[in-house]
Amino acid sequence: MGAIRPPRKAKLICGLFSNDVDLLRRARQLLARRLGEIDTESELWPFDTTDYYEPEMGPDLQRMFVSFASLIDPGQLAHIKHETNDLEAAICHDMGAPPEFRLVNLDPGYITLSKLVLATTKDYSHRIYIGQGMYAESTLHWQSGAWQAWPWTYPDFAGERYHGFLTQVRERLREQLSEVPACDTKEAPDA
Give the integer Cα–Cα distance in Å for 57 and 69. Answer: 29
For the chain, the farthest-separated pair of C-alpha atoms sits apart, in whole angstroms, at: 56
Q: Beta-carbon neighbour count of residue 124 at 10 Å?
A: 9
pLDDT band at 185 (very low <50, low <70, confident <90, very high): very low
Task: Indicate if the pLDDT at residue 191 is higher than 60.
Answer: no
Give the integer Cα–Cα distance in Å for 113 and 9. Answer: 10
Q: Would you list the domain boundaries of the chain?
A: 10-179
10-179 domain in CATH 3.30.70.2740? no
pLDDT digits (tens, 9 = 90+) for 33-85: 999 999 999 999 999 999 999 998 999 999 999 999 999 999 999 999 999 99
Task: Indicate if the pLDDT at residue 184 is higher than 50.
Answer: no
Helix axes 77-94, 21-35, angle to 10 degrees: 140
pLDDT digits (tens, 9 = 90+) for 24-47: 999 999 999 999 999 999 999 999
Task: Indicate if the pLDDT at residue 183 is higher than 70.
Answer: no
